[in-house]
Amino acid sequence: MHPVTWMYVVFIVPIGIAALAYLAVRVYIRVRHGKLSHVKTVRSSGGRRFALYHGTQSPGVSVWHVHELGDEGEAPPRIGHARNSMGAIFVFRYTDVLDPHAQGYIDLIRGRHLVFSRGGVFQGLFDIKENELLVHEPDPQAKYAEWADGQGMGGAFNKADYIRWMEEHLHRPIAAILEGEEDQPPTPPRA
């Protein structure tokens, strides 16, 4: 075999294959990640419609958006990319360390509150009557890391502590608001 041919086979071809593989992965990530898909729409007694969308910003990073939709005849907005949160009532970002398969839900509670829950934990509350966001943490894992660091844990992730933090800082305050209106607050669905 000629030395130039040997060098071509050993060095140039693998570099070309690696470059093509890299480009294929980048194209897959651009196409697969970033798009939001519709999960659920709910309607209030007053006719207002709210929609939940889910997407990924990058591998392992899920985002959930809740938007208010326009009139019945109006098509749902083209929200587009997961990084664009314009017009969203809620935006939640997760690195999915808790439960990568936990489904997000939205529900209208007693015709007044729009609730976002995931993994059986209330995580966001919007008062439809007052048009006010009552409880919301867009990046709960980052807030937990700050809290853990302040507790002398060095920001280390501990699943049990994270669940306790979510219940204390998001679930219980939402349940308390909902409980104040009636004796028994609703139970969020489990994935």
Find out whether 105 and 52 touch, Cβ atoms under 8 Å. Answer: yes
Cα separation, 42 vs 95, in Å, equals 26
3-state helix, strand, coil split of the chain in percent (to 5) is 30, 30, 35
In single-letter form, the type of residue at position 84 comes to N
DSSP bridge partners of 104: 118
Cα separation, 119 vs 63, in Å, equals 14
Q: Where are the domains of the chain?
A: 33-179
Q: In what order do the strands lie in the sheet with 37-43?
A: 37-43, 49-58, 61-69, 88-94
pLDDT at residue 141 in the model: 80
pLDDT values of the chain reduced to their tens digit, one per residue, 191 residues:
566 666 566 666 667 676 666 655 555 544 454 577 888 889 988 888 888 888 877 767 788 888 888 766 554 555 554 445 566 777 777 765 556 567 888 999 988 999 998 888 898 999 998 988 899 888 888 888 888 877 776 656 777 888 888 899 999 999 999 987 655 556 666 55
pLDDT at residue 176 in the model: 92
Q: State pTM to two decimals.
A: 0.69
Find out whether 89 and 96 touch, Cβ atoms under 8 Å. Answer: no
